[in-house]
Structure 1
Amino acid sequence: MWRPLLEQRLEQQRRQDLWRQRVTLSPLEDKRLVNGRHTLVDFAGSDYLGLAHDPRLAEALAQGARRYGAGSGASHLVSGHLEPHHALEERLADLTGRPRALLFSTGYMANLGTLQVLGAGGVQIFQDRLNHASLLDGGQLAGARARRFHHRDYDDLARLLSRSSNDKPRLVVSDGVFSMDGDTADISVLADRCQRFDAWLMIDDAHGVGVLGEGGSGCVGRRFASRQVPVLVGTLGKALGSAGAFVAGDDLLIDSLTQFARAYIYTTAQPPGVACATLRALDILESEPERRTVLGDHISHWREQAKRLGLPMMPSETPIQPLLLGDSQRVLSWSRLLRQRGFLVGAIREPTVPRGQARLRFTLSAAHTRQSIDALLEALAELATNEPQPGLREPLA
């Protein structure tokens, strides 16, 4: 019974051009990767500041492993909460302007654990339609009554909030930077709506921490107090180049997660060397602000040149720069052609994005060279010219 069921599902995945495939790679310098004998420039990952392969982080990780061991050996609440974990939580709280922070092993676990705790007991959850899968899954896991408002439509959110019950707590959840579109939430408006309807606001700032805000503090960071954004989630495996995640907030939030979040209580703490590497990344984030400056220059240059070339990139001022192609087969074709030209890019299809909105997703990094960026833009312009499609040559938004 099981074998034909799974075979049927896999065959359907292939027929719909939704087959996912891993690529085994080895890193080189300047965001270059080796795929067997072929060299590719990585425009698919989220290493926005070029820290993932920085030798200083690798050395910090190695020193941490030598001092504290390769693994933590237990959960945080047993015997796995080691000195580097404690120091990292204090640094992350300081970065984001929060009283405290709590480490999780992954961003997915941070969102599942937080929503499992906050969504219990009849809480009403309101989510942006384009929120990350971990936020949607977390709300479902909590069993809370959930509604989804139109993407960045805060009047729609206000309507939903106004029709909700005053007898149950309300939680509004949004990405800070939306991972597939690259646009950002309006935190000020969200905070205003939440305060008007006595709701808590939870922001997942996975793609903002390290990149946006004062000193890389993110979309929320020090600009918004805990009373405006009581729940702040961030990840460590993107701009900070290591692994893991955190939730930042006040004592009430962190104590509640420590006591009740199953994704925190029942998992082994991250390896201490990883925490040491992240601490080193925070040092570099503070001492080398030019990394963020270079990244900002790359984004501006990309947008200007894409407009000059007539490429209809989606509106985004972040390192995430999507090109909407619509059709999954077409996205796969462009992705293969770009790989033949030496570029690794994200081919994003349903269910990650809605049907008809398949896209190439380019991500920029401070480690990219201007030469590589220009070469990719020229390759895209050549593809667009050789394969005309209705609306493809519309002006950049």
Structure 2
Amino acid sequence: MRLEIWPTSIVTVNFFTLNAARKSDEMLEPDEWKRSRPVLRGGSGRNPANLLDYFALVKRLHGQVIRISATSKDFVNPLDINVNYGDGDSPTDLKAPFILSLMELIVDRREGLEAIEKTVIDRCVGIIYQKYLADPRPENVPILGDLHQALLNQKDIPQAQTLAAALEIYVTGSLRLFNHRTNVDIQNRFVCFDIKELGNQLKKLGMLIVQDQVWNRVTINRELRKSTRYYMDEFHLLLKEPQTAAYSVEIWKRFRKWGGIPTGITQNVKDLLSSAEIENILENSPFIYMLNQGPGDRAILAKKLNISEHQLSYVTNSGAGEGLLFYGNVILPFADKFPKETELYRIMTTKPEEVG
């Protein structure tokens, strides 16, 4: 079962369980690799054969796989920024809300950050980016350790010391994975972020940080007059937590203005539609691509998307590559028979008997 939600009319690319991919419009045009996956993956995203197959595709297209885990030597800096990051005079105007979301996950408090804590974090953001704004070179971009020190320097504010204590494990402790400068090629036209090996303590942070890395790329590409396509498999996971959900919706809306084309992919329809933010996503997604659905999911989707009984028949026990396309108020059945005698099929197939 698969449901895909797109904010613009582009053809599907079913990629990367628990990964996120970005490519600019320099690469293969979507119509050249239109497809339906011959095998639909289970919702757990734990099929290593499938993941290896996707990495092979990235490699074949000369892309970059960035593996983010506690044992990996690939590092991405959550505080990465560029001069075009913001929409106003200062790039930190948009970076500060991301760092607030990051700190909210780190503090992990049901009621979120206190007003004073938000003010202190915002003040420290301004401090740690002063060097970069004065001389915007990569080596002047701060890391989490700089934020930690800036918080410690607010000696007269108890809340700042509390925030610094919460951040410490991510700077000098066992979860210091993200306290490094970016050391991988994120300028490649085709990038896959693999976060499947992140433990529970870092998974939410990893999802948020990857989204910000993609946004960073979107802002650079817009300046170069390039569009950016962003595919998020297991999309329901991004909407599960309030902090990542709010930021995901903000990114979704912002992308369209900045030449980005995000695609959400999920097989867990119930989890997706249970999110309080799903209405904001659907309202900004005129295109939906739907494959075979189970009875429970069909009933939910029929009510949510006003699908008739006849139309539901096209996602009931349907074959591979068959389903419904939604574009605005139009619903169309489709059958996509991808030719097997092609190199693209050989690269993309996930059928065990066909994976060599």
TM over 0.5: no
TM-score by length of 1: 0.26
Q: Which structure has more RCO (C-alpha within 8 Å, separation ≥ 6)?
A: 2
